[in-house]
Structure 1
Amino acid sequence: MNVLLVDDEAQVLRGVARTIECEAEEWEVHSANSAAEALECLDSEKIDVIVTDMSMPQMDGAELLEIVEIRFPNVLRIVLSGQADRDSVLRAIKPMHQYLSKPCDPDVLLAAIRRAEIYKDTITSSEVLDAVGRANCLPTLPSIVAEINQEIDSDHGTIATIASVVSRDPVLSAKILQIANSAIFSVRQPILDVEHGLSLLGVEMVRSLAISLAVFSTENRATLQTATQLFEHSVDVANIARTIASVEEVDSTTLNTVLSAGLLHDIGKMILFNAFSDRYTSLISRSERGLHQAVDLEKEEFGCSHPGIGAYLLERWGVPKELTDAVAAHHSLGICSRAEIATQIVYAANWIATHPDGATPIDVEEIQSPMSKKLTKFLCQLKRWSIHYRETQQAPTS
């Protein structure tokens, strides 16, 4: 692992470098006193992570990271700064992956780097890694932006009503959770739900975020239609997860986890679609014809699948582990059978959304070979949740 530290204060550089070298002896640390020097280092060395200050002469941290995002998208981009005013944060949001404040606990910095590497190891394709590196500008839908503006400007708009609109957009929701969980707001507990995150950011910052992400062209109807379908499926999964969570009477933390993870579970698909539109549209068409599952076709085409890609992006963004675990496992029956209930609920919600016939991955009653007790229990639970959800959908409304 090669880490590049950038700060115009030599004493700060030496202190952070010593800390990393002591705690992670296997890492190689490079230092730069300016953005220009940092770019020279990036040109000559294979850098995995850049950690930069925001306030520097000639070229500040936000400008530097904008260049790094374009020229070296695979590099994990971390801001380590004591400067957190609104304008500087807005400028850094697009290119940065994580924001840590000075003085920073060394364990926090090391954990931020190590967490992101867990899922990177599952992705062997350099073009996919580049796509994840450029995913900070994943698009949102223009219609969502219009609704957010209308709700903010309304006399009756509240944080809750704005959050209900935002929660129909997985990309914007993920960005809000990314920023809310950064050191900018110095929160003590993970922020797991969009409404809480929105209340921290403020409506004007959310409006700015939505506008900056709304880059889909309404003239490209095929692109817009596919994006809309992806978003709508994510919302369906979140709503099904809510229904299951209510049956299980889970606590508020688990409820917030399943709602957000349900909304974010297919963000890996959005990365693939945004970066490889024609190839991925063709892949989805083949999957919809029922010959192969999308995850299998993704592995064949890209060498990895959307759950791991999405989890890798969210880890880079510093989104809470509870959410990334659920995103990573939402197609993994074996992992889910041993996981916490939030991860199991997200798996079940996605399965129910894509299998309206009520089928389960394995018919427990017809299985011939012995299964683990945990897998058997989870399959029975999945069948029960599926039956309950279909019954609630068929129940007459009063």
Structure 2
Amino acid sequence: MSSPQFPDWFTMHKILFVDDDPTELAALQTLLRAYRRNWQMTFCQSGPEAIQQMAENKFDVVVTELKMTGMSGAELLRYVRELYPDTVRLLLCSQAEYSELFNSVGPAQQYLTKPCDPELLYDVVNRTCLLNERLAQTGLRAVVSKVDALPSLPAVYLRLVDELRREDASVDRIGDLISKDLGMTAKVLQLVNSSFFGLPVHVKDAAHAAALLGLNTLRPLVLTAGVFRQLEKSRIPAALLEKVMKHSMAVGCLAKRLAEIEGMNRDDSDNALLAGILHDIGKLVLAENIGRDYSIVTTAAEITNLPLEQAEHDQFDTSHAEVGGYLAAIWGLPQDILEAIAYHHDPSGHPGKKFSGVTAVHAANALVNEAELLESESELQRPTRDRLDHSYLARLNCTQSVDLWREIALQKRAAC
């Protein structure tokens, strides 16, 4: 196995591997020998030994086996998250455990199945580190320091995630769980019955929604409903909240559709839906916490016809995309969702080589914006409506799909 060529964004990372099985640890060490010039690697046989190593050395990444005697991998990563929040946390598990953990909110930023493919591990480590570095930039930290309060994960969502992890998860139990919160139920039904889903019947209750859409599709809607309910009580102007929510639903539904036609599996397509719905959550965080300054920036962007994210960077040295990615990271959402939110205006900054959630959300956002501008009465805006990153799409060999994506976006817009 040849050592990979270093891309421009590469930096050597210090990585700690933990497994209490000496045979598996030795096998992993042998498997990763080709990466000795790329990574500084340390190997430990227990959670306590790893904690001692971290007290003595700074590590960029911790990769641990899930099931270990004494301190489990999940317990170790909770400790790491508490004491070393900037450290990337990866968990190795079996395929069965992966299926259970994939959509959970937990201490790991990524889950990898065993036996672990070294090239996949290399890609995941570097992608996660790159995103962490992006979210650690000075401008973002300066903005976050001014934030008084962030939306929290709804309690109903956390209970829903627990229910979905059960082998006998049922529509009726999930319907009952959501229905106990009347406000949440009303918001979920508002979203489900919106034109974005185009359901042929009126959905009357949460169990009915779960039966029609599927349990996994209901999960992002519960999170969305809970977050937007919190923001309705904030200082954000109602018109802005409604505008962002309507746009975000359109982007989420289109992102899911693009993911499906490009062959992504159900879990990844559902994550594209959630990332699309949340992609502009950073705008609302900024509007709530630095409202006056942010209003000046948005107004200036509109007057000068400057892309909003560029105006944000000019003023704050960060953008709503990074703020949204930061919030998703605090929530512990899966890495693919974080990336899709943080890179939705700058997908070329993502090192991926194939269609992913980043591609789905970037394209969906650009095409929904384009469709919205086509309805605008201002002819001056129309020459600047194409916001697709064509060099990024060419890198992924996706250019030939753009016309089909645009047609789907226009069809969905006409149906709304």
Category of TM-score, reference length = shorter chain? 0.5 to 0.7
Aligned to 1:180: none
- In structure 2, the CA distance between the partners of 1:145 and 1:112, relative to structure 1 (3 Å rule), is closer
Matched, 1:198 2:216: yes
289, 296, 321: which one pairs with 1:286?
A: 296
Matched, 1:328 2:343: yes
> CA separation in 1, counterparts of 2:289 and 2:231?
20
1:188-337 equivalence runs, <5 A: 198=216, 221-222=233-234, 230-239=244-253, 251=261, 253=263, 261=272, 263-265=274-276, 267=278, 269-270=280-281, 279=289, 281-282=291-292, 284-291=294-301, 293-300=307-314, 303-307=317-321, 317-319=334-336, 328-330=343-345
> CA separation in 2, counterparts of 1:266 and 1:14?
43
- In structure 2, the CA distance between the partners of 1:58 and 1:215, relative to structure 1 (3 Å rule), is farther
- In structure 2, the CA distance between the partners of 1:223 and 1:50, relative to structure 1 (3 Å rule), is farther
1:1-398 equivalence runs, <5 A: 1-82=13-94, 89=101, 93-120=105-132, 122-123=134-135, 125=137, 128=140, 139-141=152-154, 152-153=174-175, 198=216, 221-222=233-234, 230-239=244-253, 251=261, 253=263, 261=272, 263-265=274-276, 267=278, 269-270=280-281, 279=289, 281-282=291-292, 284-291=294-301, 293-300=307-314, 303-307=317-321, 317-319=334-336, 328-330=343-345, 343-353=362-372, 357=376, 363-364=382-383
- In structure 2, the CA distance between the partners of 1:33 and 1:309, relative to structure 1 (3 Å rule), is farther
Contact 1:168 1:232 in 2 (8 A): no
- In structure 2, the CA distance between the partners of 1:332 and 1:127, relative to structure 1 (3 Å rule), is closer
Contact 1:348 1:385 in 2 (8 A): no
The residue identity in structure 2 corresponding to 1:264 is A
- In structure 2, the CA distance between the partners of 1:233 and 1:384, relative to structure 1 (3 Å rule), is closer
Deviations 1:335-378 (A, max 9, x none): 9xxx989554431114445886265896449xxxxx99x99x99
Contact 1:360 1:383 in 2 (8 A): no
> CA separation in 1, counterparts of 2:154 and 2:68?
35
- In structure 2, the CA distance between the partners of 1:52 and 1:281, relative to structure 1 (3 Å rule), is farther
- In structure 2, the CA distance between the partners of 1:239 and 1:97, relative to structure 1 (3 Å rule), is closer
- In structure 2, the CA distance between the partners of 1:44 and 1:388, relative to structure 1 (3 Å rule), is same
Deviations 1:91-123 (A, max 9, x none): 974211122233222222222112324445545
Contact 1:241 1:349 in 2 (8 A): no
The residue identity in structure 1 corresponding to 2:367 is A
Q: CA deviation at 1:48?
A: 1.2
Task: List gaps (5 residues or longer) in structure 1.
Answer: 132-136, 170-194, 366-370, 394-398
- What is the TM-score with the length of structure 2 in the denominator? 0.56
What is the number of residues matched between the two proteins? Answer: 334
> CA separation in 1, counterparts of 2:114 and 2:41?
19
Which of 251-260 and 9-18 deviates more? 251-260
Contact 1:6 1:52 in 2 (8 A): yes
Contact 2:16 2:43 in 1 (8 A): yes
The residue identity in structure 2 corresponding to 1:235 is M
Q: State the percentage of identical aligned residues.
A: 19
Contact 1:262 1:346 in 2 (8 A): no
> CA separation in 2, counterparts of 1:69 and 1:166?
35
The residue identity in structure 1 corresponding to 2:275 is L
Deviations 1:6-29 (A, max 9, x none): 122233223223322323522100
> CA separation in 2, counterparts of 1:117 and 1:360?
43
Q: CA deviation at 1:79?
A: 0.8
- In structure 2, the CA distance between the partners of 1:112 and 1:279, relative to structure 1 (3 Å rule), is same
- What is the TM-score with the length of structure 1 in the denominator? 0.58
Q: CA deviation at 1:71?
A: 2.0
> CA separation in 2, counterparts of 1:167 and 1:252?
29
- In structure 2, the CA distance between the partners of 1:104 and 1:384, relative to structure 1 (3 Å rule), is closer
> CA separation in 2, counterparts of 1:259 and 1:361?
36
- In structure 2, the CA distance between the partners of 1:238 and 1:358, relative to structure 1 (3 Å rule), is farther
Contact 1:264 1:327 in 2 (8 A): no
Contact 1:242 1:255 in 2 (8 A): no
Task: List gaps (5 residues or longer) in structure 2.
Answer: 1-12, 145-149, 162-170, 180-184, 193-212, 385-389, 395-399
